[in-house]
Structure 1
C-alpha cells in the first residue's frame, strides 16, 4: 500500500473520514479552507439519483441557467443565414455559418461548448450527427438549441446556462462556479442547479429520487451534503 502523505492524513483527520453530511454553506467554507491548488479551482456538484437512464421514462436531461454564471468562457457556434446570422453575431457568437461551418466541423474544428441552429438549418446540421453527437453538441429543440431566437440562445449560453444529463449509473454532475466566486454566488448557483434537477424528476423514477449530493473542488475532497436541505428531494 502506498504511503499516505502528510496532507492526505491531515485531510482524513479534518474530515473525520468524510462520514459527516454538511450544510451547503459549511461545505463551501471547508473547501476554501482545504484549497491547495494555485489555479482557480472549479466547484462541482454531483448528484446520485434514483433513476435508471436505460429506460426512456427515467431519463433526466435539460438546461439550467446559473444566476451567477459559470466563470468559464463559453465558445458558441451557430448555424444560421441572413438576418439570423447577424443576430447571432451581434449576441456574441464565436462562429456563425451554414454549409461552410459544417465543412469546418467535418474537418475537425470542434472547439465549441455549445452549438445552436435555426430550424431551417437542421438539414445541414443533420449531416454532422456522427461528429457532434458523441461530443454532446448536437442541437436539440428540447434543449432550446434549435430555435429561431438565436440571439437569446447565444446570450443564455454565454451568460451561465449549462446542460445536464444523467449518466448510466444514475449520476448527474456539473461545475457551478469557481473558487474565486463569493459564498453567496456559489450557494445561489448550487440552489439553482439542484432545483432544476428536482423539477426534472421523470415520471418513471421510483423510491427516493435524490439519494446523495456531493460538493467538491477540482483538487479537493468530495463533501457529502445534507439532502434534508433540498426541497422535493
Structure 2
C-alpha cells in the first residue's frame, strides 16, 4: 500500500493543478500515469452551467463512442415473443418478461444496461425503485425503450454510453481504457463532449460547458483546455 501511495503522489505532483492542458497533451499525461496492474478506465468529467433541479435544465442522452468503451457490457432486454427472439439473436445476455421482472424485483441484477420494448413498460415501470437508483431504468430519450431491439442491443454492446447530469451540474462518463491509443481516446472524448453539447437544454443560461477534466482510475485529474475538445459554438451561451 505504501508503494502504491508514493506512486499516486508522484503522479499528482507531475500534473499542474491550475494548468489547462490541450486534449492531446492531457491524454498523453493520463496514459503515462496509468501505471496500475490493471487496465485503468479513463473518465471524463464535465461541469455544466445548469441546475438540474429545474426540469428545463436537465441534461440526459446517449453517445456512441467511435472506439467503444473497452468494457464488455451485459445487456438485459424486457420483451416477449418475436422481439424476445430478436433480442437473443442480437446478443442480449438476459431476455425475459414477467419472469425477468420477478428476478429483478428479487434483487438479482446481473446486467449493466437495460432495454425494453414499449409494450413492456407497464411491467418494467414497477421496477422504478430498483432500476432507477442504479441508472438502469429504460428510457425512450436514450433509445432504451424501443421496438428496434437489435439496434439497441448492438449499440449497447458496441460502445453506447448513457450520460445524465448530477445534482451539482456535473456529468461523468467512461471514455475508454488506458490501453487505448492516444488518438482513440481523444476521438472518444470529443464525441462525448459533442453529444453533451447537442443535449444543451432550453433553460441553460450563460456558459453551458464550463470546465472539463480527464483522469484514469488511479491517476490524477488533468484539466482540459475547452477550445481543444469542442466544435465551434459548443462552449458558448
Structure 2 length-normalised TM: 0.92
Q: Which moved more, 1:193-202 or 1:134-143?
A: 134-143
CA distance in structure 1 between the partners assigned to 2:18 and 2:126 by the alignment: 49
Q: Which runs of 5+ in 1 are unaligned?
A: none
CA distance in structure 1 between the partners assigned to 2:156 and 2:8 by the alignment: 38
Deviations 1:35-73 (A, max 9, x none): 221100001100000000000111100111001000111
Q: Which moved more, 1:26-35 or 1:71-80?
A: 26-35
Deviations 1:75-115 (A, max 9, x none): 11111111111100000000111101111111111121111
Per the alignment, residue 107 of structure 1 pairs with 106
Aligned pair count reads: 228
CA distance in structure 1 between the partners assigned to 2:162 and 2:177 by the alignment: 17
Runs of 4+ in structure 1 deviating by more than 3 angstroms, as ranges, are 5-13
CA contact 2:8–2:218 (8 Å) conserved in 1: no
Structure 1 length-normalised TM: 0.94
Deviations 1:150-169 (A, max 9, x none): 11100010000010000000
Per the alignment, residue 92 of structure 1 pairs with 91
CA shift, 1:122, in A, is 1.3
* Aligned-partner SS, 2:52: coil
CA distance in structure 2 between the partners assigned to 1:127 and 1:50 by the alignment: 33
Equivalence map 1:138-217=2 (5 Å): 138-217=137-216
Deviations 1:3-35 (A, max 9, x none): xx654554454223x121111111111112222
Root mean square deviation of aligned Cα: 1.3
Deviations 1:107-161 (A, max 9, x none): 1111211111111111221221221112111111122111111111000100000
Per the alignment, residue 14 of structure 1 pairs with 14
CA distance in structure 2 between the partners assigned to 1:10 and 1:137 by the alignment: 37
CA contact 2:8–2:219 (8 Å) conserved in 1: no
Deviations 1:152-192 (A, max 9, x none): 10001000001000000000010100011111111110010
Q: Which runs of 5+ in 2 are unaligned?
A: none
CA distance in structure 1 between the partners assigned to 2:159 and 2:170 by the alignment: 21
